[in-house]
Structure 1
Amino acid sequence: MEKKNYTLHLPLGKLLQSSTFNLEKAVCSHGFFMMAPNNWDSSTKVLRRPFRLSSNSRTIILVHIYQPSSNASVLHVQVDTKHPMSAHDQKILLAQVTRMLRISEKDERDITKFHDIHSEAESIGFGRIFRSPTLFEDIVKCILLCNCGWDRTLAMVKSLCDLQMSFTKTRSKRRDRVKCEGEPLMSGDFPTWEELASVDAEFLKKHCNLGYRANTIIRLATMIKSGKLSLENFEKDEDFDGARKKLQHIKGIGVFISDYVVTCIGDYQKIPADTETIRHITEIHARKNCNLKTVQKLAEEIYGKFAPFQYLAYWFELWKYYEEEFGNLSALSPDAYRIVTGSTSNRGKGKGGIQMK
């Protein structure tokens, strides 16, 4: 069957009444954009990645998202597929794009209020923190941020996408196959909880080098499968404290991970604190007494004036620091992503030491 090209339109004009949406800034605002299976092309300013047509679907499509210069009030979502897309499929796809880029009335209200108290962030259009098409992908990526270097996190995420590609190839020989529509995928999609619940922790450790994190991810997937955990309720109810508590009941998910997940849902009051937070507060704010015991108190002293957007203020500052060290992050070659960190071992490599696209 001949390949059919679909270009769906996602209007922005009516929603974004008080701010200008810029795709490059919306995508390249968080390290998640550097993680597989996301692929940002700095030369064309196109975001490319696989999507599922529904959370339970075995159909994977490759999608290109771009903002035409001739009409900035709309996003183009281009899909190459061999089969017609139903209205339902189109709605599902656009909902995932909308989630990734935080295009909603709530997000717009939050950004407007944040800009009212943070003029520097407003001046450069900072405020939309990039995330994944699904909360499950966000949670797993947050787990993979914990207790390791940034380069290791990137490698573990890629290994999960490579594993998903192997699922696709294996099932292509069976009736329950995962179908890849249109243009061939460069890598696998991020695995769904259904796919991960079908394997065990030892399998993940062996094939993806996740270490103890494999146990946590399998517990998460099996709890969702059993119905003990509903991620839909997290986002629908916006019970942020309840989400933290439920996540922390899962062995392997502590305060840092649960706080990070809640920022992905849309609560910015608490800063997920790790060694990078300690380094930043110690170096940039000269708080020499900053450690794991004092970091939350010091963070509140520094960023409390931006409540309820303390995390956005902190992340603006940290992202600005990274760009001062490594240059425009949206222009980095993917080969250079692994060195974007505040670690002293990588300090300064961005000033002429890394390849730009």
Structure 2
Amino acid sequence: MLRISAEDDRDVAQFQQLHEDAKKNGFGRIFRSTFLFEDMVKSILLCNSTWEKTLAKMVESGKLNLEEMERRDMTAEQVSEKLKKLTGFGAFVTATVLMCIGYYHLLPSDIETLRIFRETLETTAQSFYDRFFPFQSLAYCELSQLDYKSVSGCSHIKQLKAA
């Protein structure tokens, strides 16, 4: 299923204004299950938690109101605080559930995501410095004295690739 509502259409349009390729390729929606409960359980299972550790009993008893979350009667911060108190809901699962509800501001990053970012940054940095072969470390020292902040971090990968 896709999240399709007036709010979702607005979010997709705003996202596509920021991301040209997303607009060109029609990207900006996520697949969802029929019910938020199913998405939450799937998210927990992604993190290899056992069923006994989930919030199923709280949902069944009414202690955790998923409809309130899904209607967005709560802010993202309120939902996040409730979820983080539950066993199995760390940063990755919480961000994934928030994304399913329609809050897209957190990255659902786990150890694997961070590994990919690190490898991408290392590969990009290596190819940037390869043009100075065999003086890569000298170029690194020069760059670090000049303007290291302008080329460091994941947000500047395009800048490194263009150089």
Q: Deviations over 1:32-84 (max 9, x none)?
A: xxxxxxxxxxxxxxxxxxxxxxxxxxxxxxxxxxxxxxxxxxxxxxxxxxxxx
What is the rounded CA distance, in whole Å, between the counterparts of 1:241 and 1:123 in structure 2? 32
Runs of 5+ consecutive residues of structure 2 not aligned to the other structure: 125-152, 156-163
Matched, 1:235 2:70: yes
2 CA distance for matches of 1:283 and 1:263?
25
More strand by share: 1
- Tell me what 1:254 maps to: 90
Identical-residue share of aligned pairs (%): 45
TM-score scaled by length of structure 2: 0.70
CA contact (8 A) 1:111 1:127 kept: yes
Distance 1:267 1:302, change over 3 A: farther
1:51-66 matches, cutoff 5 A? none
1:133 corresponds to = 34
1:256-307: CA deviation from partner (whole Å, max 9, x where unpaired): 211111111111111011122112211223389xxxxxxxxxxxx546xxxx
Partner of 1:117: 18
Which structure 1 segments of 5+ residues have no match? 1-99, 148-211, 289-300, 304-357
Partners of 2:108 and 2:60 lie apart in 1 by 27
Q: Would the aligned equivalents of 1:102 and 1:130 in 2 still touch at CA under 8 Å?
A: yes
**Cα 1:278–1:228, aligned 2, differ >3 Å: closer, same or farther?**
same
Q: CA-to-partner distance for each residue in 1:10-45, whole Å, 9 max, x for gaps?
A: xxxxxxxxxxxxxxxxxxxxxxxxxxxxxxxxxxxx
Per-residue CA deviation, residues 222-272 of structure 1 (Å, 9 max, x unaligned), is 111222110001022142111111112222322221111111111111101
What SS is found at the alignment partner of 1:101? coil
**Residue 281 of structure 1 contacts residue 287 of structure 1 at CA under 8 Å; is this kept in 2?**
no
Partners of 2:154 and 2:36 in 1: how far apart?
Answer: 29
Contact persistence 1:138–1:264 (CA under 8 A): yes
- CA 1:263 to 1:274, structure 2 compared with 1: closer, same or farther past 3 Å? same
After TM superposition, list the pairs within 5 Å mapping 1:201-350 onto structure 2: 212-217=49-54, 220-236=55-71, 237-286=73-122, 302=154
Structure that is richer in helix per residue: 2
Q: AA paired with 2:91? A: V
